[in-house]
Amino acid sequence: MSVNAPPITATDSLSQALKANIIPNQEYLLQGSVLDSAVEVLLHRLRGLCDNVDAGPETFDDQEVCFSLRDPNQQAAPLMLRVRKALDARDMPFQLRYIGQPDLGDKNRPTVVRSSLDIACSGMLIEFLNELGCRIEFEYSVKGYMFRKGRMKITVAKVFKISQSSMPPEPISQSYLVELSVLAPQGQDAIGEDMRAFADQLRPLVQLDKIDYKRLGHMSVT
């Protein structure tokens, strides 16, 4: 490199990494649910199928807060950001996550695909977002189990309402949310076929599928 060449900035490094397609900024996703009464059977099946069978699944107990940053001129959709912190490991960094709009693709695409960026942050993150003008849209806690199968991550989790009093959190339903996901660089759509094949092994205990939340919203309104 020439002595007079300008130094490489973090923005330059990020741009080069994006061009080289080495940043895992795409999430491939399938979702479903299982009743409380059947979750132990599903966990047993996952223990037999996944990589961490000897050590058992990882457990997690997290709180997630969704923030929105609105355009002052109201000409663009709000930017949605999620902050997650571990309630069972206070020394873990906060996680800031951006999730783009899901792309369902055509009916032959095996999974939902959406942009996803995750950044580990300090405990001052929420104060920083408040200073930027972000506002809280909703929050919840989630507690459950995480399995691994190669690059695939499988979570089985109970979602709870955040209580504003000293009362314990209240579950929002009598079922567990099941998610199968992979983070990968753009263009690796073949992973969707592997995910679909794995999801088929979990039937009929749980049906993992592409969820169109916009369609669900229209159905609830009508």
Q: If you average pLDDT over each of 32-36, 72-76, 127-131, which comes out highest?
A: 32-36
pLDDT over 80 (residue 4): no
Q: Which residue has the higher pLDDT, 12 or 185?
A: 185
pTM of the model: 0.82
Q: How far are the Cα atoms of 27, 97, 152 from residue 47, in angstroms, in the given order?
A: 24, 28, 14
CATH T-level assignment (fold) for domain 24-214: Hypothetical Protein Pfu-838710-001 (2.40.320)
Q: What is the pLDDT of residue 221?
A: 41
8 A C-beta contact, residue 88 and residue 59:
yes
CA distance 213 to 222: 14
Tokens of 189: 């759509």
